[in-house]
Amino acid sequence: MSYQYIKVSVDEAVGIITLNRPDVLNALNLQVVDELVAEMERMDRDDSIRTILLTGNEKAFAAGADITEMADESAIAIMLKDQFAVWDRIARISKPIVAAVSGFVLGGGCELMMNCDLIVASETARIGQPEIKLGIMPGAGGTQRLTKAVGKHRAMEMLMTGEPITAEEALRYGLVNKVVPVEVYFEEAVKLAKQLAGQAPLAVRMIKQAVFKAQDLPLEEGLHYERNCFYLLMASEDRKEGIQAFLEKRKPTFKGH
Protein backbone atom coordinates (compact mmCIF):
# COMPACT_ATOMS: atom_id res chain seq x y z
CA MET A 1 0.00 0.00 0.00
CA SER A 2 1.23 3.47 -0.65
CA TYR A 3 0.30 6.31 1.61
CA GLN A 4 0.63 10.05 1.31
CA TYR A 5 0.71 11.13 4.94
CA ILE A 6 2.12 8.21 6.89
CA LYS A 7 5.32 6.20 6.65
CA VAL A 8 5.36 2.52 7.43
CA SER A 9 8.28 0.33 8.45
CA VAL A 10 8.92 -2.92 10.28
CA ASP A 11 11.53 -3.64 12.95
CA GLU A 12 11.50 -7.33 13.87
CA ALA A 13 7.89 -7.99 14.92
CA VAL A 14 7.07 -4.32 15.46
CA GLY A 15 5.07 -2.50 12.81
CA ILE A 16 5.92 1.20 12.91
CA ILE A 17 3.56 3.88 11.63
CA THR A 18 5.00 7.41 11.48
CA LEU A 19 2.73 10.38 10.94
CA ASN A 20 4.37 12.34 8.18
CA ARG A 21 3.07 15.84 7.67
CA PRO A 22 5.99 17.66 9.31
CA ASP A 23 5.24 20.99 7.61
CA VAL A 24 1.94 21.23 9.51
CA LEU A 25 3.14 19.63 12.77
CA ASN A 26 1.35 16.43 11.77
CA ALA A 27 -2.10 18.01 11.87
CA LEU A 28 -4.65 15.25 11.47
CA ASN A 29 -6.75 15.69 8.37
CA LEU A 30 -9.33 13.16 7.26
CA GLN A 31 -6.93 11.39 4.95
CA VAL A 32 -4.14 10.90 7.48
CA VAL A 33 -6.59 9.30 9.91
CA ASP A 34 -8.00 7.09 7.15
CA GLU A 35 -4.50 6.02 6.20
CA LEU A 36 -3.34 5.26 9.70
CA VAL A 37 -6.48 3.32 10.59
CA ALA A 38 -6.21 1.33 7.36
CA GLU A 39 -2.58 0.51 8.10
CA MET A 40 -3.31 -0.44 11.71
CA GLU A 41 -5.98 -2.84 10.52
CA ARG A 42 -3.61 -4.29 7.95
CA MET A 43 -0.93 -4.79 10.61
CA ASP A 44 -3.53 -6.34 12.89
CA ARG A 45 -4.11 -9.03 10.26
CA ASP A 46 -0.40 -9.47 9.47
CA ASP A 47 0.92 -12.51 11.39
CA SER A 48 4.51 -11.29 11.25
CA ILE A 49 3.61 -8.24 13.33
CA ARG A 50 2.92 -8.48 17.04
CA THR A 51 3.04 -4.88 18.24
CA ILE A 52 2.07 -1.66 16.51
CA LEU A 53 4.11 1.45 17.23
CA LEU A 54 2.66 4.84 16.38
CA THR A 55 4.83 7.94 16.33
CA GLY A 56 5.30 11.39 14.85
CA ASN A 57 8.47 13.40 15.04
CA GLU A 58 10.48 15.18 17.72
CA LYS A 59 8.63 18.48 17.30
CA ALA A 60 5.13 17.10 17.08
CA PHE A 61 3.36 13.83 17.56
CA ALA A 62 0.30 15.59 16.21
CA ALA A 63 -0.73 19.17 16.88
CA GLY A 64 -4.45 18.61 16.45
CA ALA A 65 -7.04 18.37 13.75
CA ASP A 66 -6.49 20.17 10.50
CA ILE A 67 -8.57 23.22 11.28
CA THR A 68 -8.52 24.52 7.73
CA GLU A 69 -10.48 21.47 6.72
CA MET A 70 -13.40 22.26 8.99
CA ALA A 71 -13.35 26.05 8.84
CA ASP A 72 -16.20 26.50 6.37
CA GLU A 73 -18.21 23.36 6.99
CA SER A 74 -21.76 23.55 8.32
CA ALA A 75 -22.75 21.59 11.38
CA ILE A 76 -25.02 19.40 9.31
CA ALA A 77 -22.33 18.68 6.74
CA ILE A 78 -19.90 17.68 9.49
CA MET A 79 -22.51 15.45 11.10
CA LEU A 80 -23.42 13.75 7.84
CA LYS A 81 -19.79 13.13 7.08
CA ASP A 82 -19.43 11.61 10.59
CA GLN A 83 -15.72 12.05 10.32
CA PHE A 84 -14.90 10.75 13.77
CA ALA A 85 -16.53 7.36 13.17
CA VAL A 86 -13.33 6.03 11.65
CA TRP A 87 -11.59 6.56 15.02
CA ASP A 88 -13.82 3.89 16.58
CA ARG A 89 -12.02 1.28 14.51
CA ILE A 90 -8.77 1.92 16.40
CA ALA A 91 -10.39 0.56 19.55
CA ARG A 92 -11.03 -2.71 17.74
CA ILE A 93 -7.36 -3.34 16.93
CA SER A 94 -6.49 -6.48 18.87
CA LYS A 95 -2.70 -6.09 19.00
CA PRO A 96 -1.09 -3.76 21.50
CA ILE A 97 -0.43 -0.25 20.24
CA VAL A 98 2.52 1.66 21.69
CA ALA A 99 2.73 5.41 21.16
CA ALA A 100 6.03 7.30 21.06
CA VAL A 101 5.17 10.96 21.53
CA SER A 102 7.22 14.13 21.60
CA GLY A 103 6.62 17.85 21.22
CA PHE A 104 3.04 18.89 20.52
CA VAL A 105 0.45 16.28 21.49
CA LEU A 106 -2.61 18.46 21.22
CA GLY A 107 -6.29 18.09 20.46
CA GLY A 108 -6.73 15.25 18.00
CA GLY A 109 -3.09 14.35 18.71
CA CYS A 110 -3.91 13.83 22.38
CA GLU A 111 -7.02 11.86 21.45
CA LEU A 112 -4.97 9.71 19.10
CA MET A 113 -2.39 9.11 21.83
CA MET A 114 -5.17 8.05 24.22
CA ASN A 115 -6.28 5.49 21.65
CA CYS A 116 -2.95 3.76 22.13
CA ASP A 117 -2.36 1.20 24.87
CA LEU A 118 1.03 2.21 26.25
CA ILE A 119 2.68 5.58 25.88
CA VAL A 120 6.34 6.56 25.94
CA ALA A 121 6.75 10.33 26.05
CA SER A 122 9.79 12.51 25.52
CA GLU A 123 10.52 15.13 28.15
CA THR A 124 9.60 17.77 25.61
CA ALA A 125 6.06 16.50 25.11
CA ARG A 126 3.26 19.01 25.78
CA ILE A 127 -0.07 17.29 26.04
CA GLY A 128 -3.48 18.90 26.01
CA GLN A 129 -6.93 19.46 24.60
CA PRO A 130 -6.93 23.12 23.56
CA GLU A 131 -10.22 23.01 21.59
CA ILE A 132 -11.91 25.29 24.14
CA LYS A 133 -9.66 28.11 22.97
CA LEU A 134 -11.36 27.92 19.59
CA GLY A 135 -14.78 27.95 21.22
CA ILE A 136 -15.34 24.25 20.59
CA MET A 137 -14.54 20.97 22.34
CA PRO A 138 -12.92 17.63 21.59
CA GLY A 139 -14.89 15.40 19.25
CA ALA A 140 -12.80 12.27 18.90
CA GLY A 141 -13.07 10.94 22.42
CA GLY A 142 -11.21 13.65 24.32
CA THR A 143 -13.75 14.21 27.06
CA GLN A 144 -14.43 10.51 27.52
CA ARG A 145 -10.98 8.97 27.36
CA LEU A 146 -9.22 11.76 29.22
CA THR A 147 -11.65 11.48 32.11
CA LYS A 148 -11.10 7.75 32.29
CA ALA A 149 -7.36 8.20 32.12
CA VAL A 150 -6.79 11.03 34.62
CA GLY A 151 -10.05 11.36 36.58
CA LYS A 152 -12.79 13.96 36.58
CA HIS A 153 -11.07 16.94 38.15
CA ARG A 154 -7.88 16.87 36.15
CA ALA A 155 -9.86 16.22 32.97
CA MET A 156 -12.10 19.19 33.70
CA GLU A 157 -9.08 21.40 34.22
CA MET A 158 -7.32 20.32 31.05
CA LEU A 159 -10.47 20.52 28.95
CA MET A 160 -11.82 23.79 30.31
CA THR A 161 -8.56 25.74 30.47
CA GLY A 162 -7.16 24.22 27.31
CA GLU A 163 -3.68 24.52 28.79
CA PRO A 164 -1.29 21.71 27.90
CA ILE A 165 0.55 19.78 30.60
CA THR A 166 4.20 18.73 30.61
CA ALA A 167 5.34 15.16 30.15
CA GLU A 168 6.25 14.99 33.85
CA GLU A 169 2.76 16.08 34.84
CA ALA A 170 1.27 13.56 32.43
CA LEU A 171 3.35 10.88 34.13
CA ARG A 172 2.03 11.92 37.53
CA TYR A 173 -1.50 11.92 36.17
CA GLY A 174 -1.03 8.40 34.81
CA LEU A 175 -1.64 9.64 31.28
CA VAL A 176 1.67 8.27 29.99
CA ASN A 177 3.75 5.27 31.06
CA LYS A 178 7.25 6.59 30.81
CA VAL A 179 9.08 9.87 30.29
CA VAL A 180 12.57 9.78 28.80
CA PRO A 181 15.00 12.25 27.17
CA VAL A 182 13.93 13.38 23.73
CA GLU A 183 17.06 11.89 22.17
CA VAL A 184 15.98 8.36 23.07
CA TYR A 185 12.18 8.40 23.25
CA PHE A 186 11.72 6.56 19.97
CA GLU A 187 14.32 3.87 20.79
CA GLU A 188 12.76 3.39 24.22
CA ALA A 189 9.34 2.94 22.65
CA VAL A 190 10.78 0.41 20.20
CA LYS A 191 12.33 -1.51 23.11
CA LEU A 192 9.00 -1.60 24.88
CA ALA A 193 7.20 -2.64 21.70
CA LYS A 194 9.71 -5.45 21.16
CA GLN A 195 9.31 -6.58 24.74
CA LEU A 196 5.56 -6.88 24.19
CA ALA A 197 6.18 -8.61 20.85
CA GLY A 198 8.06 -11.33 22.74
CA GLN A 199 5.11 -12.12 25.00
CA ALA A 200 2.50 -14.73 24.22
CA PRO A 201 0.32 -13.01 21.59
CA LEU A 202 -2.94 -14.61 22.66
CA ALA A 203 -2.41 -13.61 26.27
CA VAL A 204 -1.51 -10.06 25.26
CA ARG A 205 -4.61 -9.86 23.10
CA MET A 206 -6.89 -11.09 25.86
CA ILE A 207 -5.33 -8.84 28.44
CA LYS A 208 -6.00 -5.92 26.11
CA GLN A 209 -9.63 -6.95 25.69
CA ALA A 210 -10.08 -7.53 29.41
CA VAL A 211 -8.58 -4.15 30.32
CA PHE A 212 -10.91 -2.47 27.81
CA LYS A 213 -13.81 -4.24 29.52
CA ALA A 214 -12.58 -3.03 32.90
CA GLN A 215 -13.09 0.52 31.73
CA ASP A 216 -16.70 -0.05 30.70
CA LEU A 217 -18.23 -2.97 32.57
CA PRO A 218 -19.43 -3.22 36.16
CA LEU A 219 -16.85 -5.13 38.22
CA GLU A 220 -18.81 -8.35 38.44
CA GLU A 221 -19.24 -8.62 34.69
CA GLY A 222 -15.61 -7.68 34.17
CA LEU A 223 -14.44 -10.38 36.55
CA HIS A 224 -16.64 -12.87 34.74
CA TYR A 225 -15.14 -11.79 31.43
CA GLU A 226 -11.61 -12.07 32.79
CA ARG A 227 -12.25 -15.53 34.16
CA ASN A 228 -13.48 -16.82 30.80
CA CYS A 229 -10.43 -15.35 29.05
CA PHE A 230 -8.23 -17.07 31.62
CA TYR A 231 -9.92 -20.43 31.04
CA LEU A 232 -9.66 -20.00 27.30
CA LEU A 233 -5.92 -19.33 27.47
CA MET A 234 -5.49 -22.61 29.32
CA ALA A 235 -6.23 -24.28 26.00
CA SER A 236 -3.38 -22.54 24.18
CA GLU A 237 -0.12 -24.08 23.04
CA ASP A 238 1.72 -21.07 24.36
CA ARG A 239 0.53 -21.86 27.87
CA LYS A 240 2.21 -25.28 27.62
CA GLU A 241 5.35 -23.68 26.22
CA GLY A 242 5.38 -21.04 28.94
CA ILE A 243 5.11 -23.52 31.77
CA GLN A 244 7.53 -25.96 30.15
CA ALA A 245 10.14 -23.25 29.63
CA PHE A 246 9.75 -22.13 33.22
CA LEU A 247 10.37 -25.67 34.49
CA GLU A 248 13.34 -26.10 32.15
CA LYS A 249 14.70 -22.69 33.19
CA ARG A 250 14.88 -21.38 29.62
CA LYS A 251 13.24 -18.53 27.75
CA PRO A 252 9.90 -19.45 26.20
CA THR A 253 9.23 -19.09 22.49
CA PHE A 254 5.63 -18.14 21.96
CA LYS A 255 3.92 -18.89 18.68
CA GLY A 256 0.53 -17.29 19.16
CA HIS A 257 -1.66 -20.35 19.21
Catalytic residues, by residue number, are: 65, 108, 111, 131
Q: Cα–Cα distance between 154 and 197 in angstroms, integer?
A: 33
CB of 179 to another protein, least distance (A): 10
Q: Cα–Cα distance between 206 and 214 in angstroms, integer?
A: 12
- Among 158, 159, 176, smallest CA distance to 167 is for 176
CB of 75 to another protein, least distance (A): 38
Nearer to another protein, 22 or 181 (CB): 181
Nearer to another protein, 184 or 243 (CB): 184
- Cβ–Cβ < 8 Å for 174, 150: yes
Nearer to another protein, 192 or 204 (CB): 192
CB of 125 to another protein, least distance (A): 15
**Residues of this chain, 153-182, that bind another protein according to CB under 8 A:** 180-181
**Residues of this chain, 222-241, that bind another protein according to CB under 8 A:** none
Dump strand ranges (E) for 20-151: 51-55, 60-62, 97-101, 104-106, 118-122, 126-128
CB of 167 to another protein, least distance (A): 13
Element (H, E) at 145: helix 142-150
Nearer to another protein, 125 or 180 (CB): 180
Tell me the three state secondary structure of residue 51.
strand
Nearer to another protein, 157 or 183 (CB): 183
Q: Cα–Cα distance between 190 and 181 in angstroms, integer?
A: 14
DSSP string, 213-240: HHHHS-HHHHHHHHHHHHHHHTTSHHHH
CB of 181 to another protein, least distance (A): 5
Nearer to another protein, 73 or 183 (CB): 183
Phi, psi of 116 (to 5 degrees): -90, 165
**Residues of this chain, 24-83, that bind another protein according to CB under 8 A:** none
Size of the site for another protein (CB under 8 A): 4
- Give the C-alpha distances (Å, rounded to integers) separating 93 from 73, 115, 157, 227: 30, 10, 30, 22
CB of 188 to another protein, least distance (A): 8
Interface mask toward another protein for 182-221; x: CB under 8 A:
-xx-------------------------------------
**Cα angle at 76 between 70 and 80, to 5 degrees?**
90
Does position 243 interact with another protein (CB under 8 A)? The reply is no
Residues at the contact surface with another protein, assessed by CB under 8 A: 180-181, 183-184
